[in-house]
């Protein structure tokens, strides 16, 4: 049985907030469908105080912006993108195209085709989230996407130079200084100045996530995303200071970001709570991290590691950090998570910023049915068939006729009959003048 030392706010409060977000997003998308660029500009002025002559940056503007970025920042961006590119290439290498002959002259095949246009949303507004450019754009380019449209908002009316540099170095074909629902909707439905994309990827706030949800089906999306989540799993040997620092590292993403600790040690639980309260006042991002911990932080104490892993799977969180004596046991015991971070030497922030795995991960329980963004998300796995042997054509034609008539699909049956007739001279009693 788990003992809960700290509760989150009731789910009803979260649901009420999401209902308002949905209504707002529905109206913005409908307006952009109706008025196109005019509506996009109006919402950019309203939400970001941003209305340049063109939201799309020219090549000359991009080069000028990059020139303003310190060389160390450029070098670091290149290094991190190399890590992301290397991992994405290994993922691509794990995908196999094949062609097999299942019967004489019956060839079945599989191949991977990249989507032809992808949208990459790079969050901003408050923080210049350069890492999201690596995750969405580099991965798309490794997959072979020929056109990647990247959007990011201005920050307090200023161009986020480091983010623009990251977008360009990642390989974006179009860079637009445009944020929020208006960016997602413009990329998805298209306007007079922006051609629509086929798939949308990237994290964002509740409004961006809801826009992607509402547009899914009209376009593909990477996954349904909500606020960043962290789940720390700790036994009695875990350091409460490390637990607290890592919980706050993700709570600073936003006031609705859940930060949860599950531990087998009541002492670790109590000391972690105390460390969080000690560290919060001195955290520069406490205006986000404080409400996140207050309203969405949880601490659970369980009796055994088996209970710990079972409860962790119930959460099905985005990031799961394992601070136990044998952290790799989580690979065997857990099945529902976005990404695992094993051992004290591996923090969630490594995955967010530098290590090379993708940080666009499932939230709100979506880890029950999907993993995170990866190179395969930008690929369409398609099949093809070819039957060249006449005996096989006859065999399959007759079988198709019988199987289709069981289902009362006479049109399908006749299509099979024709192949048997052409290959083996079967009669077509239904084909009478």
Active site residue 270: no
- Out of 134, 253, 296, 319, which one is annotated catalytic? 319
Active site residue 318: yes
- Which pLDDT score, from 0 to 100, does residue 224 have? 84
In the Cβ-directed half-sphere of 265, how many Cα atoms lie within 13 Å? Answer: 18
Four-residue CA torsion sign, 31, 32, 33, 34: positive
Complete DSSP assignment for 374-403: -GGGGEEEEEEEEE--HHHHHHHHHHHHHH
Contacts of 430 (CB under 8 A, 6+ apart): 414, 417
Report the number of secondary-structure helices (H) and strands (E) in the chain.
Answer: 17, 14
* C-beta atoms surrounding 45 within 10 Å: 12
CA distance 244 to 78: 31
Complete DSSP assignment for 235-303: -TTS-HHHHHHHHHHHHTT-TT--EEEEES-HHHHHHHHHHHHHHGGG-TTHHHHHHHHHHHEEEEE-S
CA distance 106 to 403: 19
pLDDT tens digits for range 166-207: 999 999 999 999 999 999 999 999 999 999 999 999 998 889
Residue-averaged pLDDT of the chain: 96
The answer to whether the CB of 177 falls within 8 A of the CB of 52 is: yes
In the predicted model, residues of the chain with pLDDT beneath 50 are none
The reported pTM is 0.93
pLDDT tens digits for range 244-261: 999 999 999 999 999 999
Q: Name the helix (H) or strand (E) containing 207.
A: helix 206-215
- Out of 174, 252, 318, 344, which one is annotated catalytic? 318
Classify 191 as helix, strand or coil.
coil
């Amino acid at each position: 049985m788990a003992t809960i030392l700290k509760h989150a706010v009731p789910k009803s409060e979260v649901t009420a907030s999401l209902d308002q977000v949905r209504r707002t997003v529905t109206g913005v998308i409908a307006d952009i469908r109706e008025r196109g660029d005019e509506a996009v500009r109006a919402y950019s002025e309203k939400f970001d105080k941003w209305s340049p002559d063109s939201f799309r940056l020219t090549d000359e503007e991009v080069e000028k912006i990059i020139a303003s970025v310190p060389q160390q920042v450029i070098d670091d961006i290149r290094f991190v993108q190399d890590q992301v590119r290397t991992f994405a290439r290994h993922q691509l290498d794990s995908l196999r195209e094949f062609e097999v002959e299942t019967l004489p002259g019956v060839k079945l095949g599989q191949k991977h085709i990249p989507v032809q246009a992808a949208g990459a949303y790079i969050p901003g507004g408050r923080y210049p989230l350069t890492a999201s450019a690596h995750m969405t754009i580099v991965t798309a380019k490794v997959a072979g996407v020929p056109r990647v449209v990247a959007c990011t908002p201005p920050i307090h009316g200023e161009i986020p130079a480091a983010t623009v540099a990251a977008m360009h170095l990642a390989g974006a074909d179009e860079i637009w200084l445009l944020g929020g629902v208006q960016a997602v909707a413009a990329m998805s439905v298209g306007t007079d100045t922006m051609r629509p994309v086929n798939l949308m990827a990237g994290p964002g706030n509740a409004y961006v996530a809801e826009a992607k949800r509402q547009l899914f089906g009209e376009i593909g999306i990477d996954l349904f995303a909500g606020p960043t989540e962290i789940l720390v799993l700790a036994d009695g040997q875990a350091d409460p200071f490390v637990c607290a620092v890592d919980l706050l590292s993700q709570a600073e993403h936003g006031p609705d970001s859940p930060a949860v600790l599950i531990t087998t040690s009541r002492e670790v639980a109590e000391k972690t709570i105390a460390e969080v309260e000690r560290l919060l006042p001195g955290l520069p991002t406490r205006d986000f991290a404080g409400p996140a911990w207050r309203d969405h932080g949880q601490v659970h104490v369980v009796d055994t590691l088996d209970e710990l892993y079972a409860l962790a799977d119930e959460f099905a969180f985005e990031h799961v950090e394992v601070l136990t004596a044998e952290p790799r046991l989580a690979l065997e015991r857990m099945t529902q998570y976005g990404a695992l971070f094993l051992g004290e030497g591996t923090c969630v922030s490594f995955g967010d910023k530098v290590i090379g795995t993708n940080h666009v991960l499932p939230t709100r329980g979506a880890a029950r049915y999907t993993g995170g963004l990866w190179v395969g998300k930008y690929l369409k796995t398609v099949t093809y068939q070819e039957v060249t042997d006449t005996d096989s054509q006859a065999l399959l034609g007759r079988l198709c006729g019988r199987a289709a008539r069981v289902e009362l699909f006479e049109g399908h049956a006749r299509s099979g009959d024709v192949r048997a007739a052409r290959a083996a001279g079967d009669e077509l009693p239904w084909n009478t003048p």
